[in-house]
Chains A and B, each alone.
Chain A
Amino acid sequence: MEEQKLIAACKANDRLAQQLLYNRYANAMFTISYRITKDKELAADVLQEAFVRVFHYIYTFRGESTLGAWIKTIVVRSALAILKKEKKELSFDISEVDESPTNLHFLHDIDYIEKAILSLPSGYRTVFLLIEVEGYTHQDVADLLGVSVGTSKSQLFYAKKRLRELISPKIE
């Protein structure tokens, strides 16, 4: 179904259209949730809460961004809210880095890269994921996390530096 028709049907509360929309975005949004929360159960809660919000508020969607970007913002906000609720607020302490992302089998072991990313402290990880993987700007991240643009930039720099440290020995 074409996206505009899908949105219109969801606004009319068509259950099949809602399910179709969910199926279209569920995996991508679950992935973002998991990378932010680093916990599959929490990520499932985030996905559930976020999509309930999506269907409640889809009547407010005016098409100023893509539907995917709109849903992604809701998912990120839900993830940050759940972390806060679970008292797992974002940490920007680099000493919390997990030093042992192991099991590297070959250079392009994507799982290793993901583990390296997940080993970053939650604050660094979230900034890195939102900007480098999801394509947000520093201003977007500053607004979402309630930090300054400068903080976002410095967190990204340290996240990249740390990742390079974790990955470079394997590359060289």
Chain B
Amino acid sequence: MEDFKQIKLDNQKYLPPKDLWSKIEFDLDYQNNIKPLLEQLPERTAPSHIWGEIEKNIPSVRMRLFKKKWVVQTVAASVLLVIGFGLGRWFNNKPSNTPQLGYSQVKTITYLDEDQESINEVLDEYVKKCKYYPNENSCSLVNDFTDLVSAKAELENIIKRMGNSDNIMQQLRRIELEKTRIIRNMAQRI
């Protein structure tokens, strides 16, 4: 404690700048003599025409209302367009119970003319050539065709004896389709 009391701060260690007092004096002088005068500086009067010029360059209430109205109208028109477009699409895609017009294209496949003359020609030509085919199955088409002709004749006899029936008619249609298929195959080979 004693030691601490004996320590003396060196008051001359840090010195202020030499011109500090003159600066303080200057500030005091300024604060006392000039600053108060600044508060009394006269206020100028703005030229009277300026307001008129400003008025020309700022939007009026009417203009702003017009702009607001224009924006509202634009938004409303856009909304209506979107709704109209949406409704249009919905009506176009809507499933309907009312009769609608439509069309479809049916392609018919034209097979060989099934008149007997044509069939006989194909058969004759095929028989002439099938003998030379090494493949046994080729001439078997003639046998298949003969079997079908026999089956058809048998069914026609049954109809004469017992009358027509749906089942017999269905079998006749199948025989005719099969005969046509065989004749086409024969025609492709000749």
Contact = CB atoms under 8 A, between A and B. Distances in A.
A29 B58 CA distance: 18
A113 B33 contact: no
Contact of A110 (B33, B41, B45, B53): B41
A145 B62 CA distance: 38
A52 B58 contact: yes
A110 B42 contact: yes
B38 interface: yes
Tell me if A's interface is mostly helix, strand, loop or mixed.
Answer: helix
A171 interface: yes
Nearest to B23: A157
A34 B50 CA distance: 14
A30 B45 contact: yes
A164 interface: yes
Contact of A164 (B34, B38, B51): B34
Contact of B43 (A31, A117, A132): A31
Contact of A52 (B34, B41, B44, B54): B54
A114 B42 CA distance: 8
Interface stretch (A18-26, A77-85, A92-100, A136-144): A18-26
A48 B54 contact: yes
B42 A55 contact: no
A57 to B, nearest CB: 11
Contacts of B57: 48, 52
B70 interface: no
Interface string A110-139: 110110010000000000000011000000
B58 A31 contact: no
Contact of B45 (A15, A27, A117): A27
A56 B58 contact: yes
Nearest to B29: A164
A48 B33 contact: no
A167 B34 contact: yes
A22 B51 contact: yes
B59 A13 contact: yes
B37 A108 contact: yes
Interface string B24-54: 0010011001110110111111110011011
A18 B57 CA distance: 12
Interface in B86-111: none
A153 interface: no
Nearest to A18: B58
B54 A22 contact: yes
A87 B45 CA distance: 26
15 contacts: A13-B64, A27-B43, A27-B44, A27-B45, A30-B50, A44-B46, A44-B50, A51-B50, A52-B54, A56-B59, A113-B41, A117-B41, A160-B26, A167-B33, A167-B34
Interface of A: 12-15, 18-19, 22-23, 26-31, 34, 40, 43-44, 47-48, 51-52, 55-56, 108, 110-111, 113-114, 117, 132-133, 160-161, 163-164, 167, 171
Given A27-B45, A47-B50, A132-B38, 7 more contacts: A19-B55, A31-B41, A43-B44, A44-B46, A44-B50, A55-B54, A132-B35
